[in-house]
Amino acid sequence: MKRLLTYFKFNKTEQNGFFVILVVIILFAIVYSLVSREDKGTAIAHQTRVFEQSFHDSTELVDYPTRKFVTADVNLEKKKPYSKRGMSHNVEEAELFYFDPNNLSVADWGKLGLSEKQIAVIKNYEKKGGRFKDKDDVKKIYSINDRLYKKLEPYIRIKAKTTDASNTVKDPLLYDKFETNKAELIDINVCDTIALMSLKGIGSILSKRILKYKDVLGGFYRIEQLKEVYGVTSETYNLIKDNIKVSNLDGIKKININQIDANSLGKHPYLSPKDAKLIINYRDQHGIYANIEDLTKIGTLSDLAIAKIAPYLIFENDSR
């Protein structure tokens, strides 16, 4: 232990030097601590001022929760209310007046508090032939939100259409098609694409689709078969069903069930390749078919498939 203590003994000169160094270190630590605290306080104060300025700037632009623009620099927003979603935030400041939404000018829509995007949607609707028949039609415009509609609804006044025979106002067609002459029904088994395009809701592409499906089927025997054509929706069918007919049944192409092969039979829309193979295999095993009832003997063939294909079949004797 005594030997260890010998390493910690200092003479007078070494002791003086040690104390001088210790004092310098303590003074340096005190000065550094004071300077660091001052810098930190300055930084915090600066950040506080930046935050306060940002908050002040934001509150100058918008007064929450009413969100009305209040500074002179953004007064133009009152004329062109706009938000990222295209909805007006200052409906309260709009100039409300009684109006007919049909063919209302862009300027008047703007006075009512609508944004440029909202007005563009309405004008595009009118350009395509759209018309506001009642107040609810205004609500159906997707750019008009419930809040805006509730403000406008009491001021909507839709004028009645003129009924004078000399100046009858007619609703614009929603489809860019010819009007159908109801006195002359169209036979879908003998008509062409031009005749089909005269029907509401039938364009050039859909008319070609109908004729192509007619050829694949071998002809229509019921007008309801049009529902099977891709693109003929229930709405479209309801528009045209009273203007079409199927009268030329003699033109329907018949299939001789006792002569056709499975591959050709499977191409008909009403039979799958599996159904066609079942029919031909049963014929090969049990002989030719005499009538449609013979098809019911195939246990795996559905009654629906038999009923749909029946008008297209004939049962002549196999000449092979």
In terms of domains, do 82 and 163 share one? yes
- pTM exceeds 0.95: no
CA angle (7 as vertex; 5, 11 as ends), nearest 5:
105
pLDDT value at position 70?
38
| C-alpha span between 122 and 143 (Å, rounded) | 8
Tens-place pLDDT, residues 32-83: 888 766 555 555 555 555 444 544 444 444 343 334 333 334 343 444 444 4
Where a domain ends, among 218, 249, 280? 249
| C-alpha span between 24 and 226 (Å, rounded) | 102
pLDDT value at position 54?
47
| C-alpha span between 311 and 249 (Å, rounded) | 10
Q: Please check whether residue 207 lies inside any domain of the structure.
A: yes
Q: Please check whether residue 179 lies inside any domain of the structure.
A: no
In terms of domains, do 83 and 163 share one? yes
Residue 201: count of CB within 10 angstroms of its CB: 17
Q: Please check whether residue 265 lies inside any domain of the structure.
A: yes
CB 94 within 8 A of CB 113: yes
Span 223-237, mean pLDDT? 93
pLDDT value at position 222?
92
In terms of domains, do 52 and 79 share one? no
Tens-place pLDDT, residues 232-271: 999 999 999 999 999 877 778 999 999 999 999 999 999 9
Half-sphere exposure of 204 (CA within 13 A, CB side): 0
| C-alpha span between 226 and 237 (Å, rounded) | 7
What total of structural domains would you count in the chain? 4
In terms of domains, do 268 and 298 share one? yes
Among 225, 231, 227, CA closest to 202 = 231
In terms of domains, do 268 and 205 share one? no
pLDDT value at position 73?
40
Where a domain ends, among 10, 41, 62? 62
In terms of domains, do 101 and 154 share one? yes
Tens-place pLDDT, residues 183-199: 478 999 989 999 999 99
Q: State which H helix or E strand residue 245 sits in.
A: strand 244-245
Tens-place pLDDT, residues 137-184: 887 887 788 888 888 888 888 887 654 444 444 444 444 444 444 447
pLDDT value at position 196?
93
In terms of domains, do 145 and 84 share one? yes
Q: 304's torsion region: left (phi>0), alpha (psi -120 to 50) or beta? A: alpha
Residue with tokens 């939100």: 145
Q: Please check whether residue 180 lies inside any domain of the structure.
A: no
In 35-53, which positions are buried (b, 16+ CB within 10 angstroms) versus exposed (e)? eeeeeeeeeeeeeeeeeee
pLDDT value at position 275?
92
In terms of domains, do 146 and 222 share one? no
Task: State which residues form the domain around 100.
Answer: 73-167
Where a domain ends, among 208, 229, 249? 249
Among 113, 175, 167, 188, CA closest to 143 = 113
For the stretch 307-310, contacts whose Cβ atoms lie closer than 8 Å and that sit 24 or more positions apart, written own/partner, are 308/270, 309/268, 309/270, 309/271
In terms of domains, do 93 and 160 share one? yes
Q: Please check whether residue 100 lies inside any domain of the structure.
A: yes
3-state secondary structure of 214: helix
Instruction: Let me know if 226 is exposed, middle or buried by CB neighbors in 10 A (0-12, 13-18, 19+).
Output: buried
Q: Please check whether residue 123 lies inside any domain of the structure.
A: yes
Q: Between 57 and 98, whose confidence is greater?
A: 98
Span 117-126, mean pLDDT? 87
Residue with tokens 């007046």: 97
Q: Please check whether residue 175 lies inside any domain of the structure.
A: no
**Cis ω on the peptide bond leading into residue 269 (within 30° of 0)?**
no
Q: Please check whether residue 9 lies inside any domain of the structure.
A: yes
